[in-house]
């Protein structure tokens, strides 16, 4: 038996991460099924590497080719996260799969066995998980990451108050509070909490930050994790007192784990509320901070982030 999932047509690290809870729930609900992922990007082999897909297929446009492909697979279940792709929804509708789930559109309402209304005003992983409700699966996003915590390999200092910092922002400088601000925050924390340590989660785009952190006043109390695995990031996030992050890929690990979290969002265009609605997981331990409309997010003072941290920890 096979389950097939079509992933969204966007490719960045955070986008891959937000698919993981849905794939995890499918993998555990249908243990006898082979889980097949379809994606336009070769980077989606990530889902097989992390153990949530048995097969990954990279595809391009082609209605008849896709229809023949799906019929040859004879899937029991197909889930599509691509509501705007009419040709793909038509191929899924004619695939012969018993269960065909997706977001509600003019085509899917007729050809799918179950649809839900897409809601861009809720955190996107929660919106994805809604697609499982027509087949009786009601889930929250933290399970997969909590399980991965046990497989982290980072040696953390014991009996220290650790702060996790994620200063990245893959789509541009406008999404970065700035490494200077992050280091200024750490210095202020250190002045009041001598026992504090800082773990920086960095990716390839933040390589230049390494030297700045190592030459800063908090260098001896800082751990730098560069291009680290999902399990190790989850391990660190679980162990830290709070995570402070830009709107970046790794931030979704902390958000979906529902740890104390402060998310810093750009408001350069005055539309921060829309990004926060879709990319911030609102819960009692989380606070979103943004600048004044049309202001660079680097203008957010360190004191405002300190206040937000106190709020989520109170």
Residue range of the domain that includes 111: 2-141
| Predicted confidence (pLDDT) per residue in 66-82, tens digit | 999 999 999 999 999 99
Q: How many domains is the chain built from?
A: 2
Q: In this predicted model, which residue has the larger pLDDT, 88 or 13? A: 88
| Predicted confidence (pLDDT) per residue in 107-139, tens digit | 999 999 999 999 999 999 999 999 999 999 999
Where does a domain end: 120, 141, 162? 141
| Predicted confidence (pLDDT) per residue in 223-275, tens digit | 999 999 999 999 999 999 999 999 999 999 999 999 999 999 999 999 999 99
Where does a domain end: 141, 170, 187? 141
pLDDT beyond 90 at 170:
no
pLDDT beyond 80 at 157:
no
Please report the pLDDT score of residue 10 as a whole number.
Answer: 75
Residues 184 and 128 in one domain: no
Residues 23 and 162 in one domain: no
Residues 35 and 84 in one domain: yes
pLDDT beyond 70 at 159:
no
What's the whole-number mean pLDDT along residues 181-206? 96
Residues 262 and 296 in one domain: yes
| Predicted confidence (pLDDT) per residue in 213-224, tens digit | 999 999 999 999
Residues 116 and 164 in one domain: no
Query: pLDDT above 90 covers what percent of the chain?
Result: 90
Rounded to whole angstroms, the Cα distance separating 136 from 121 reads 23
Residues 153 and 299 in one domain: yes
Nearest to 78 by CA among 5, 9, 8: 5
Please report the pLDDT score of residue 8 as a whole number.
Answer: 80
Residues 163 and 302 in one domain: yes
pTM listed for this prediction: 0.94
Residues 300 and 169 in one domain: yes
CB 289 within 8 A of CB 177: no
Residues 83 and 42 in one domain: yes
| Predicted confidence (pLDDT) per residue in 275-311, tens digit | 999 999 999 999 999 999 999 999 999 999 999 999 9
Please report the pLDDT score of residue 83 as a whole number.
Answer: 93
Rounded to whole angstroms, the Cα distance separating 53 from 75 reads 14
pLDDT beyond 90 at 210:
yes
How many Cα atoms within 13 Å fall on the side-chain side of residue 99? 16
Please report the pLDDT score of residue 31 as a whole number.
Answer: 87
């Amino acid at each position: 038996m096979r389950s097939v999932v079509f992933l969204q047509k966007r490719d960045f690290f955070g986008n891959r991460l937000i698919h993981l809870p849905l794939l995890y729930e499918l993998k555990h609900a249908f243990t006898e099924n082979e889980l097949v992922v379809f994606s336009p990007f070769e980077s989606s082999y990530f889902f097989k590497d992390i153990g949530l897909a048995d097969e990954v297929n990279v595809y391009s446009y082609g209605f008849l080719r896709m229809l023949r492909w799906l019929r040859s697979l004879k899937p029991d279940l197909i889930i599509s996260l691509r509501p705007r792709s009419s040709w793909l929804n038509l191929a899924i509708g004619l695939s012969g799969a018993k269960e065909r789930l997706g977001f509600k559109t003019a085509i899917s309402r007729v050809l799918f066995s179950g649809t839900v209304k897409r809601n861009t005003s809720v955190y996107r992983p929660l919106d994805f998980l809604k697609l499982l409700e027509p087949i009786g699966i009601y889930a929250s996003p933290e399970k997969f990451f909590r399980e991965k915590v046990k497989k982290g390999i980072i040696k953390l200092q014991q009996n220290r108050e650790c702060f996790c910092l994620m200063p990245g922002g893959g789509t541009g400088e406008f999404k970065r509070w700035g490494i200077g601000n992050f280091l200024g925050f750490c210095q202020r924390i250190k002045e009041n909490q001598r026992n504090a340590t800082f773990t920086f989660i960095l990716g390839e785009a933040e390589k230049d930050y390494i030297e700045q952190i190592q030459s800063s006043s908090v260098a001896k109390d800082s751990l730098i994790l560069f291009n680290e695995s999902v399990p190790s990031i989850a391990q660190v996030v679980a162990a830290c007192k709070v995570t402070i992050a830009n709107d970046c890929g790794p931030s979704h690990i902390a958000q979906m784990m529902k740890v104390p979290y402060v998310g810093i969002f750009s408001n350069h265009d005055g539309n921060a509320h829309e990004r926060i609605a879709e990319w911030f997981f609102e819960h009692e331990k989380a606070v979103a901070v943004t600048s004044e409309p049309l202001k660079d997010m680097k203008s957010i003072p360190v004191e405002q982030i300190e206040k937000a941290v106190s709020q989520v920890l109170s």
